[in-house]
Structure 1
Amino acid sequence: MSKPVTMKVPASTANLGPGFDSLGLALNLYLTLEITPASEWHFEHRSPMLAGLPNDKTHLVYQAAEKTANAYGGTLPPLHIVMDSEIPLARGLGSSAAAIAAGIELADRYANLQLSDQEKLKIGNQMEGHPDNIGASLFGGMVAGVSFGEEADIVQLPVPDVDVVVLIPSYEVKTSDARSVLPESFTRQKAVEASAVANVLLAALSAGHYELAGKLMEKDQFHEPYRLQLIRELPEARKLAHEAGAYATVISGAGPTILTFAPKGTASDIISVFRDQFTDCDVKQLDVHTGRIQYT
């Protein structure tokens, strides 16, 4: 039997407050796949986080790989894949985007597609419906993207020079539930103001003006005001983080994970107060994953 190839795909956080369905940041929690040629497709799952996922072609990784191969005229050979994960499911850390990115990469490598970045993004955006998480998982670092239905565009941005802390509650929030509480439309005045907040946030992050960026991260009008009912820890976490010197505390993706940006070297203070207050939550300092999906 040939030696397995190992693929590591990063987690991601999306929105960063007002960058709704557009801003994404890759983080150093990983979905790991050990890939071996086989006579038929089969998935094994080592991590308890992956318990209950299918082991056949109904698996999301296979679905993404098949869609990619079919779209670009390739043939997928059968593979045996052993999966492990540090990315909790349904917590707003891009677990589905990581799985889709893995499938796209599998198809590219094993069906010998030689896809461009734009072709990979196109498939990922079609499956996710927005390019923020998938762009971060595929390409690393911080990204800003826009979806036009079947097509998408993305730009990689300078990585923020901040400490990153995540507070991960024990409960799940399904993306569909988090979207169901959002309004169907906004007034023109509110849409203009909310878009302007996102624009200036992006400029402030790119320029390294983190105090201003933090202020704007907490002024989202697109989704956070409506999702507070689903994520009960956010108001207290934001208060405590500010008292500890943080720039901003916001919902990570659709939640319930809470993301904090803080000045370099201050993460330990925030972690300490979070662990004292939220004893049933997991608290971690994370780094930004830069670079592409890793193979060994």
Structure 2
Amino acid sequence: MSGVRVRVPASTANLGSGFDALGLALGLHDELEFHVVDDGLLVEVSGEGADVPTDESHLVVRAFVAASEALDLKVPGLVLRCRNAIPHSRGLGSSAAAVVAGVAAAYALAGRELDTSALQLAAEFEGHADNAAASMFGGAVVAWTSAGRYRAVRLDTHPSLAPVVFVPTQESSTKTTRGLLPAVVPHEDAAFAAGRSALAVHALTRDPSLLPEALDDRLHEPYRQPAWPATTELVRALRAAGTAAAVSGAGPTVLALPEGGVLPDGVGYSGFTALRVPVDQDGVCVAPLG
């Protein structure tokens, strides 16, 4: 193949108490073209993140190179064109989507199907597999580590799920918000998180009526409140109105899963842009360039 076209979805992670373990792919996509050329590197970016570096340090390029080396794939030169719709630094998995796109392109050019090694490559960039697995496989995912390896399983979500994400103009750094987390948490809070994350799996796949309780959290959201107070207020307002809500990933975007897709009245959404995005069931899709 002379190149491939890649379509990769956004993702939301944690889903309440499922910290670094639960992820959900969302129908908001970056589209990329990888053209194999004789030599050199040209990166063009439009849409979200158009101001990022366009040299070898570009995250998609780094992931593509890492996967190519792992697959012993020789690519003399590359023209990369990115049309991004996933907001950057908002808790919607933009970096994981970029990495998955690079890995998936290398696998396709090498004539390989995505496998557990592909997930390992992608997850190594962030140190956890929840966002990467969701973008790679679609649907909902449960991610974990075992003997230093990243693992994940895909779950079919309930057909009534109708996610809404509230995206603020404010950006947030995962590194910064992780720095707010304590080294230890009370045993009572750990038990609460275990129960709620298990309930979230059931609610996402079998009984969405339980989502308002399932997305509650004591493990990370309370400690990160100073980073995004407006996000915290919106999550609380939605929950008080009976709507399932959580901080999306490291924030500051808010994820809501309203019953029947109907948002409650009387909640102020000022400062946020509401996007209705379906669950992406397909994950990353790759096709040869014509």
CA distance in 2, matches of 1:241, 1:109: 42
Task: Summarize the alignment of residues 1-296 of structure 1 with structure 2, pairs less than 5 Å apart.
Answer: 5-38=4-37, 39-47=39-47, 49-110=48-109, 112=110, 114-148=112-146, 150-160=148-158, 161-208=160-207, 210-218=208-216, 220-242=217-239, 245-246=242-243, 248-266=244-262, 269-270=263-264, 277-296=268-287
What are the ranges of 5 or more consecutive residues in structure 1 without an aligned counterpart? none
CA deviation after TM superposition for structure 1 residue 115, in Å? 4.4
Q: How many pairs are equivalent?
A: 285
Q: Aligned partner of 1:43: which letter?
A: V
1:43-68 Cα deviation digits (max 9, x unpaired): 11122x22321222111111111111
Cα separation, partners in 2 of 1:243 and 1:226, compared to 1, 3 Å: closer
CA distance in 1, matches of 2:152, 2:52: 31
Task: Give the Cα separation in 1 of the matches to 2:146 and 2:172.
Answer: 26
Letter in 1 for 2:81: V
- Letter matched to residue 29 of structure 1: L
Specify the SS of the correspondent of 2:185. coil
Structure with more of its chain in strand, by fraction: 2
- The percentage of aligned residue pairs carrying the same residue is 33
On the 8 A contact 2:105/2:286 being kept in 1, the answer is no
Aligned equivalents of 1:229 and 1:190: distance in 2?
19
Q: CA 1:194–1:65 in 2, change beyond 3 Å: closer, same or farther?
A: same
Residue 239 (structure 1) shift: 4.6
Structure 2 residue runs without a partner (length 5+): none
Distance 1:56 1:199, change over 3 A: same
Structure 2 Cα separation of the partners of residues 8 and 183 of structure 1: 37
The structural deviation recorded for 1:27 is 0.6
The Cα RMSD (Å) is 2.2
Q: TM-score, normalised by structure 1?
A: 0.88
Query: TM-score if structure 2 supplies the norm length?
Result: 0.90
What do residues 231-265 of structure 1 show as CA deviations (whole Å, max 9, x unaligned)?
Answer: 2223432354346552x111000000000011124
